């Protein structure tokens, strides 16, 4: 089951689900369910899974044309906070070593028991599908970072989405203490295009992932990998995120950079980044200077 937030109809945002049988407007079946957080809360209170609650509503829900999932889609959920994990793939470790003046920091964390977990974005800094992600005007080396993103409700994994942890490699590379400036700024993060219920993903650690970057209509980067290359599990990362931490009711944790463009590449305004994760969907964002 894939959950989408669609643009307003009659001043009410539509929260819909895509199944093998079609696309259904859950808000039409129950006016109290207008967004992902409300479905997650209802599931938590009732003790049923989100999938079970969804199936109960489908029979009385209006159908939605499948084209609306492209034409009307919005940010699929608005998490209170977005966090991220770093150096969870070997390619990420290699890239961070090559950019940094203190490469041993990244070597140590890749092999350590404790992962790198850092704050990434607030809702105001997060964009959805087809919205522009930002690259910093004071950085000359900016890259997209495609990531499997875990959706958490009260610290429990309830779904998955696609994430783009846009980053300034030049700023972080100068000094690891500059990480917040390299990671947290206007339009620094995108998620979407949907949320897939956790029970719909058989194995999140074996999903094909790909990224393509287009410039002036031409592909300038295209690579693929698998979440099987991640050296840590989602459960391990969630454990360290929630331990001794008052996590918000609805949060997203991105699980690490799986693909890295070559060292000579930097994003430019007008580029279009497409990230696809098997069984979830494709997140597309143009790029703008901020």
pLDDT at 10 over 80: no
d(Cα 268, Cα 222) in Å, to the nearest integer?
16
pLDDT tens digits along 20-37: 999 999 999 998 899 999
pLDDT-derived band at 115, boundaries 50, 70, 90 = very high
pLDDT tens string 123-182: 999 999 999 999 999 999 999 999 999 999 999 999 999 999 999 999 998 888 999 999
What average pLDDT does range 46-72 have in this prediction? 93
Q: Does the pLDDT value for residue 212 go beyond 90?
A: yes
Contact 114, 136 (CB under 8 A): no
DSSP letter string over 35-72?
A: SHHHHHHHHHHHS--HHHHHHHHHTTSEE--TTHHHHS
The string over 124-157, giving b where at least 16 C-beta atoms fall within 10 Å of a residue's C-beta and e elsewhere, is: ebbbbbbbbbbbbeebebbbbbbbbbbbbbebeb
pLDDT of the residue at 176: 87
What is the model's pLDDT at position 11?
67
Predicted confidence (pLDDT) per residue in 86-114, tens digit: 989 887 656 555 665 566 666 677 788 89
Phi then psi for residue 151, to 5 deg, are -100, 130
The HSE-up count of residue 12 (CA atoms within 13 Å, CB side) is 14
Q: What is the pLDDT of residues 218-239, one digit of tens each?
A: 999 999 999 999 999 999 999 9
Residue 9: predicted pLDDT:
75
Average pLDDT of the chain is 93
Residue 92: what pLDDT?
62
**Predicted local confidence at residue 279, as pLDDT:** 97
Give the Å distances, CA to CA, from 283 to 27, 108, 141, 274: 24, 32, 22, 6
Token pair listed for 89: 């793939």
pLDDT at 258 (0 to 100): 86
If you ran DSSP here, which 8-state letter would residue 73 be given? Answer: B
């Amino acid at each position: 089951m894939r959950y989408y937030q669609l643009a307003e109809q009659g001043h009410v945002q539509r929260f819909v689900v895509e199944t093998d049988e079609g696309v259904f407007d859950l808000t039409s079946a129950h006016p109290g369910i207008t967004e992902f957080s409300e479905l997650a809360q209802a599931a938590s209170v009732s003790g049923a899974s989100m999938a079970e609650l969804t199936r109960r509503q489908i029979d009385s829900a209006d159908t939605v044309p499948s084209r609306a999932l492209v034409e009307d889609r919005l940010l699929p959920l608005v998490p209170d906070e977005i966090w991220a994990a770093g150096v969870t793939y070997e390619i990420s470790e290699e890239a961070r070593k090559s950019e940094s003046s203190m490469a041993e920091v990244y070597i140590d964390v890749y092999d350590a028991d404790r992962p790198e977990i850092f704050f990434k974005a607030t809702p105001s800094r997060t964009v959805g599908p087809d919205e522009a992600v930002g690259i910093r005007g004071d950085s000359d080396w900016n890259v997209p970072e495609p990531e499997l993103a875990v959706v958490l409700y009260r610290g429990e994994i309830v779904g998955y989405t696609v994430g783009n942890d846009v980053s300034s490699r030049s700023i972080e590379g100068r000094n690891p203490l500059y990480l917040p400036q390299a990671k947290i700024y206007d339009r620094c993060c995108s998620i979407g295009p949907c949320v897939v219920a956790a029970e719909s993903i058989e194995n999140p650690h074996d999903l094909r992932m790909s990224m393509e970057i287009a410039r002036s209509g031409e592909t300038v980067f295209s690579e693929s990998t698998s979440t099987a290359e991640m050296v840590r599990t989602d459960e391990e990362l969630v454990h360290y995120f929630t331990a001794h931490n008052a996590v918000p009711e609805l949060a997203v944790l991105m699980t690490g950079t799986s693909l890295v463009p070559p060292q000579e590449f930097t994003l430019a305004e007008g580029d279009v980044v497409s990230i696809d994760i098997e069984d979830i969907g494709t997140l597309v964002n143009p790029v703008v200077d901020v």
